[in-house]
Structure 1
Amino acid sequence: MTDNQQESAAGFKHRSVLLDEAVDYLVNDPAGCYVDATFGRGGHSRLILGQLGDSGQLMGIDKDPEAIRVAGKLAADDARFSWFHGSFAQLDEALDSKEWAQVNGVLMDLGVSSPQLDDASRGFSFMRNGPLDMRMNPEQEPSASQWLATADEKDIADVIWRYGEERFSRRIARLVVARRQEEAIETTRQLAELVAEAVPKKEKHKHPATRTFQAIRIFINRELEDLEIGLKSAVDRLAPGGRLVVISFHSLEDRLVKRFMRDLAKGPKIPRGVPVTADQEQSGFRLVGKASKANEQEIEENVRARSAVMRVLERVAN
């Protein structure tokens, strides 16, 4: 198993995308405190620890109990590492538990991990039949099937449109409501076949259920809401010179991250004609480099890397 390919307790492998690039941008002080806000199976964390000195510290955060089991093993092997079970929306709580007022860097590798997609029992993928769950933290409710069993037709259509940008969202929602009167929609295969039946025009090289599965997953896990909270908490806790590194995998995430970083780097909007000092015009943040994408070799080795976009923001040192 290579350095950038980690294996979960269940045997599902995960290859961290843009691994070296992300960690190179993140770690600029070997004695600093860092957060891997999406621990996953520890690919980024292990490389970060490899760049830290004896006094450096790293915290891993994840919603998924399977990820936390792996994090617990890493913490037992390396005293510089600690973990927090929760969302990066709880970043302030996580840092307060360690009495870290500031950190030198925060890494967010967004979206669903390979082990979650590959494990049919988690219900994330239409490619593998299993219970229609989709929860990153199975201890929280509702699951995807529970929500689809009770949600209004309009709410289902709105979620599929908003988070999946699926133009046939109303047709899909209408069929979901009609079908659930006949049988409970409890498996990924049932939903995938239902969506394929509802969508009149198929996109070339794309399964018709792709957008719908993405939308429901994002909604069930509050991914965009958590991202907004997590981004704000991260920049609030960055020390001078500290960096926020974010890897996103679909346009909704990337647009949110891009706007957030761009607006911070631009600084406050001051009405025309209002007298300000030079200090008041300074934003306190700067964008580091341009958006990065995986190269052809990485995409060839890991097809999931093809949609990855990495952006970096730095708090300007005083």
Structure 2
Amino acid sequence: MAEPLTLKPEAPAAGGRAVELDPQLTGRRVTPRRRPLRWLVSAVVLVVLAQFIVGVFTNTHYEWHKFWPYFTRESILDGVVVTLKVVGLSAVFGLLLGVVVALGRLSTNPLLAGLAWAYVWFFRALPLPLLLIITFNFSYFYPRLGIGIPWGPVFAEVQTSSLTPLAIGVIALSLNEAAYAAEVIRGGILSVEHGQIEAANALGLSKARQLRRVVLPQALRSIVPAYGNQLVGLVKASSLVYYVSLLDLFGAVFVLESRHPESIVPILIVGAAWYLVITAVLSIGQFYVERFYARGGARALPLTPIQKLRRFVRLNRRGF
């Protein structure tokens, strides 16, 4: 336990002047508050957690000796790469389209606002497996898509039947993601105090500059946590691209367990472990992005895990 603190007879005030303390308080020792219940609960939780972990790793039904060979299997690694491609491309395209739809919903133009609302309503209403199947069969209804003059010559066109399963999966996930991203972005923009916009108008800033310099930096404090949650959902939703014959991580696990029915449990654990790794990386990135945009909005930045560990060790050395 740390040495008790002793009050000094004089302490500097906020203005720099020395303030005399009550003589009765001078020399009185201050000791940290004891919290036996906290330590008791912590000990119980640690014991239960340790028992669970030991039980998992000593249970022979998990077949841990097969975990690493399947974890690093080439088909699984190829599936992880496909999943990362689908998630990365869908996140970028979905975010860009979501920004456009969100600005459309906030527009004073009733036509643009109505179309943006209809987009959000339509793609949030469709189940993602159904949207993937519709996108997969899109070439049946529209064999070609082109750019040109309405009811006139076409300058460029593309055969929709030539779309690869990766392109189909990315298109469907991007359309779905944009609907949710638009609402996240719209909510973040609406969370900015109206006085900030009035101040920007008083300074004569253009609408584009207001959005870039005043609104978005403050809105991102609300957007980043919600959109980070959307990205985690996107990682799980990417497993549905198996409907369009794309072998992502889930597809690789599904095919592998059908070929090796004697190792279903370790193969499923491998799939779960890879999804946990991907989600953990996204969560770490989200934490640092949130911490970056918390500047100016919080008295102190959130502590990083290393800083929390150092603080915990320092306080325990002092007896707290």
Give the TM-score range, shorter chain. under 0.3
Q: Which has the higher helix share?
A: 2
Q: Which has the higher strand share?
A: 1
TM-score in terms of structure 2 length: 0.25
Higher relative contact order (CA 8 A, sep 6+): 2
Structure 1 or 2, whichever has the larger Rg, is 2
TM-score in terms of structure 1 length: 0.26
